[in-house]
Structure 1
Amino acid sequence: MAYLYLLLSSACSLTIAHLLKLTEVKELRTLNTLTVNYLVAAIFAFSVGLSQKAGGEVLSQSSFLIVFCIIVGAFFIGNFVVYGKSVHTNGVGITIAAMRLSLLIPVVISVFLYAEYLGILKIVGILLVFGAMGMLIPKKNSVKIGSISASWLLVITFVLSGFADASLKIYEEEFRTSLNELTFMGMVFAGAFIIGFVLCLLRSKPLIRKKELLLGAAIGIPNLYSSIFLIYALGGIDGSIAYPIVNILNVLGGTFLGLLVWNDQVSYKQWGGIAAAIIAILLLI
């Protein structure tokens, strides 16, 4: 059953990538769409998390936890905005590969903050990450989103996604005994919604268009359940097995989704980068 949950988690992640690509193709405002997504995801996370009564005492938590969740929420929504732009310009598979390589950041943070052992295989994996990123980044300096080159979108996605994943490691170490996973994710999603809502208010009207509302709600459910299914899978198999499988499924699924549905162009060099990314993921876990 755990392997089915991994497949469902990956399917949710690929659905998010597809819908974000659709957001850009239909020229909808990514930030506004994602703001709705985080509202829907927060409501579902709180509904399920608080009903479990497994350490969901949100009101008793420190102000530090609340600030931490808001900061993590900023990483989440910022990452998804850049991720959506990169999916549109660089392609689905390449962007997902860059995002999954961000496992490097929580690994390094775990070593420095929690004194985890860094073996020879992980060192090789770290070196391979840099090689994979070098092969994945396209020569698209002439293609820009605002003032940012399309190539830099992959780097920004890598960094923001890495810090978002690292925040989950900090939660595991510092807060898990007093707050269950879904309630924590609800607080993070709520923080992301507040940040997005404030930014939307500062921009030109209308606040939310109908298509943005519908597409944002559609993204919210798989956004939440990609995490829920992964949590369910971790209840049946070790993380050392679950994380490589789900990340490799995401990289391979994203590559074929981009090729078959969106006609993404992948160079031979980038195919090498995708292969290197898969090997690096296996070594880093």
Structure 2
Amino acid sequence: MVYLLLSVFFSTSLFVIFKYFEKYKVNTLQAIVVNYLVAFGLGMFSANTFNKLATIPSQQWVYGAMLLGLLFILIFFVMAITAQKNGVAVASVAGKMSVVVPIIFGIVLYKESVTTLKVIGIIIALVAVYLSSVKEEKEKTSAGLLFPTLLFLGSGIIDTTIKYVETNFVKVNDVDFFSGSLFGFAAIFGILILLAQQFSSPQKLEFKNVLAGIALGIPNYYSIVFLIKALQNKGIESSTLFTINNVGVVVVSTIVGFFLFKEYFSIKNKIGVALAILGIILVTIA
């Protein structure tokens, strides 16, 4: 449970950091690439495996790490497009509602328990995610559902893939090495995208973007590491863990946004937070 709480803490800190990106006009793409390089370095340093880099192609989880690295980059861009075309509220809801994908995956593939209390808790949690995330906007967007749907599926596939690769290929002692490697692949894909962008629209690499990337990379790395460590706890089913993790991030992010950034807290948001707490309790008991 400690690993799960740490994952929620570091995941929430990412939203806070992204909020400051906007305030200080940080080039998000440059910072994201630096962030992946930092996370890669942390993983290799934590596992003391810089001398094992040449063994990555022979690892059982190498293809899973490559896929996750690519997904990290792609879903980030899908999230950006969704926010631009459909609005930040829609992007937030689509990303967080994706928790249903790994939940179904855990129940179907791993035959995890399906009790009435768990089902009720998960349904309440999903409703809570929507109510906690939705913002009341004066103007409704007319954009289609393509990108919100891609964001929903992509975020769910990332969580599901992490669970599948961790269960089948990652040894307990290889968590840091695996985590660092998938961030390394994400960095490679990010650098390729950055180079492609430089040909079409050259932009200078600013020092503040490097600092922002470092600030983002540390919690980003640990949010994944502690999530994987939590998944390795056989006492908690993945359907339960993902529900608690995602709803926990929603609740803490909402509270931080209210107190730290004075964000508007509607009646729906308040009801959502209350339901989220109820959902977590029911799923945990189940």
Partner of 1:184: 178
2:188 to 194, 203, 225: 194
| Structure-1 separation of matches of 2:244 and 2:122 | 18
- Give the aligned residue type for 1:165: D
One-letter code of the match for 2:104?
V
The equivalent residue for 1:259 is 258
Is the Cα contact below 8 Å between 2:175 and 2:229 reproduced in 1? Answer: no
Counterpart of 1:173 (choices 153, 167, 170) is 167
How far apart, CA to CA, are the structure 1 residues paired with 2:122 and 2:218? 33
Question: What's 2:20 paired with?
Answer: 22
Offset at residue 37 of structure 1 (A): 0.3
Distance in 2, matches of 1:173 and 1:235, equals: 8
RMSD: 4.0
CA 191–239 in structure 1, closer or farther in 2 if over 3 Å, else same: same
1:43-99 CA distance string (max 9 Å, x none): 110222245999x9534225xx4332222123223444566786xx748xx94x875
The code of the aligned residue for 1:250 comes to V
8 Å contact from structure 1 (residues 37, 216) kept in 2: yes
The answer to whether the aligner puts 1:74 opposite 2:83 as a matched pair is no
The one of 117, 123, 126 aligned to 1:121: 117
Deviation at 1:108, TM superposition (A): 0.7
Match of 2:56? 58
Shift of 1:162: 2.3
> Does the Cα contact within 8 Å between 2:95 and 2:155 map onto a contact in 1?
yes
* Cα 1:113/1:206, change in 2 over 3 Å: same
* Contact 1:15–1:222 under 8 Å retained in 2: yes
Alignment partner, residue 12 of structure 1: 10
Q: Cα distance, 1:41 vs. partner?
A: 0.2
**Does structure 2 conserve the Cα–Cα contact (< 8 Å) formed by 1:121 and 1:283?**
yes
> Using a 3 Å threshold, how does the CA distance of structure 1 residues 26 and 11 change in structure 2: closer, same or farther?
same
Q: Does 1:45 align with 2:43?
A: yes
Q: Which residue of 2 aligns with 1:205?
A: 202
User: What CA distance in whole angstroms lies between the structure 1 residues aligned with 2:245 and 2:136?
Assistant: 29
Matched residue, 2:29:
31
Cα distance, 1:9 vs. partner? 4.0
Query: Does the CA-based 8 Å contact 1:131-1:273 persist in structure 2?
Result: yes
**TM-score, normalised on structure 2?**
0.74
Structure 2, unpaired ranges of 5+: none
Task: Work out whether residues 104 and 284 of structure 1, in 8 Å CA contact, stay in contact via their aligned partners in 2.
Answer: no
| CA distance in 1 between partners of 2:225 and 2:46 (Å) | 10
Q: CA deviation at 1:35?
A: 0.9
Using the TM superposition, give the Cα deviation of residue 134 of structure 1 relative to its aligned residue in structure 2, in angstroms.
4.6
Change (3 A) 1:7 1:284: closer
Deviation of 1:19 after TM superposition, in Å, equals 1.0
Report how far residue 160 of structure 1 moved: 3.3
Is 1:128–1:276's contact at 8 Å kept on the other side of the alignment?
yes
Distance of aligned partners of 1:36 and 1:229 in 2 relative to their CA distance in 1, 3 Å threshold: same
Unaligned regions of 5+ residues in structure 1, if any? none
Query: TM-score, length-normalised on structure 1?
Result: 0.75
Deviation for aligned residue 1:217? 0.9
Aligned to 1:163: 157
In structure 2, how many angstroms separate the alpha carbons of the residues matched to 1:123 and 1:58? 40
CA distance in structure 2 between the aligned counterparts of 1:212 and 1:169, rounded to whole angstroms = 32
The alpha-carbon deviation at position 230 of structure 1 amounts to 5.3
Give the number of aligned pairs: 272
Change (3 A) 1:202 1:174: same
Distance 1:158 1:21, change over 3 A: farther
| % identical aligned pairs | 29
Q: 1:275 to 1:83 in 2, by over 3 A?
A: farther
Moved more, 238-247 or 263-272: 238-247
Does the 8 Å contact 1:100/1:281 carry over to 2?
A: no
* Whole-angstrom CA distance in 1 between matches of 2:212 and 2:183: 17
